[in-house]
Amino acid sequence: MLTGFDDYPVHQTSAPIAHVATSDLNHYDRCFFNGYTRNGSLFFAVAMGLYPNRHVADAAFSVVTTGVVTTGVVTRRRQRSVFHSQRAPQDRRDCTTLGPIVVEVVQPLQTLRVMVNAPEQGLRAELTFDGRSAPLEEPHFFLRAGTRTFLDYTRLTQFGSWSGWLEVEGERHEITPADVWGCRDRSWGIRPVGERSATGAPVQEPQFFWLWAPVNFPSLSTHFDVNEFGDGRRWHEAGALLAVDGDGEHMRTVDWRVGWRPGTRWADWFEYDLIEHSGARHTVRMTPRFEFPMRGAGYGHPEFAHGVWQGESMTAGEQLDLPVDTPLTRDHVHVQALCDATLTMADGTSEEGVGILEQLCIGDHPTGLHGVLDGYR
Element (H, E) at 275: strand 267-275
Q: What 3-state class would DSSP assign to 120?
A: helix
User: Which of 66, 52, 61, 9 lies closest to 315 in space, CA to CA?
Assistant: 61
Terminal CA-CA length for the chain: 56
pLDDT, tens digit, 9 for 90 and up, residues 292-335: 999 999 999 999 999 999 999 999 999 999 999 999 999 999 99
Q: Which pLDDT score, from 0 to 100, does residue 8 have? A: 86
Residues contacting 215, CB < 8 A, separation 6+: 221, 222, 223, 284, 286, 339, 341, 343, 353, 354, 355, 356
Cα–Cα distance, 299 to 46 (Å, whole number): 11
Q: What 3-state class would DSSP assign to 198?
A: coil
Cα–Cα distance, 157 to 150 (Å, whole number): 22
Q: 270 with 367: CB under 8 angstroms?
A: no
User: Which of 22, 271, 261, 339 lies closest to 153 in space, CA to CA?
Assistant: 22
Q: 235 with 228: CB under 8 angstroms?
A: yes
Domain borders along the chain are 25-194+204-362
Does 135 sit behind a cis peptide bond, omega within 30 degrees of 0 on the bond before it? no
CATH homologous superfamily, domain 25-194+204-362 = AttH-like domain (2.40.370.10)
| Residue 50 identity (one-letter amino acid) | L
**pLDDT tens series, the chain, 377 aa:** 888 988 889 899 998 989 999 999 999 999 999 999 999 999 999 999 999 999 999 999 999 998 655 556 667 899 999 999 999 999 999 999 999 999 999 999 999 999 999 999 999 999 999 999 999 999 999 999 999 999 999 999 999 999 999 999 999 999 999 999 999 999 999 999 999 888 899 888 899 999 999 999 999 999 999 999 999 999 999 999 999 988 889 999 999 999 999 999 999 999 999 999 999 999 999 999 999 999 999 999 999 999 999 999 999 999 999 999 999 999 999 999 999 999 999 999 999 999 999 999 999 999 999 999 999 99
pLDDT, tens digit, 9 for 90 and up, residues 75-106: 789 999 999 999 999 999 999 999 999 999 99
Q: Which pLDDT score, from 0 to 100, does residue 70 have? A: 58
CA-based radius of gyration for the chain:
20
Cα–Cα distance, 116 to 184 (Å, whole number): 17
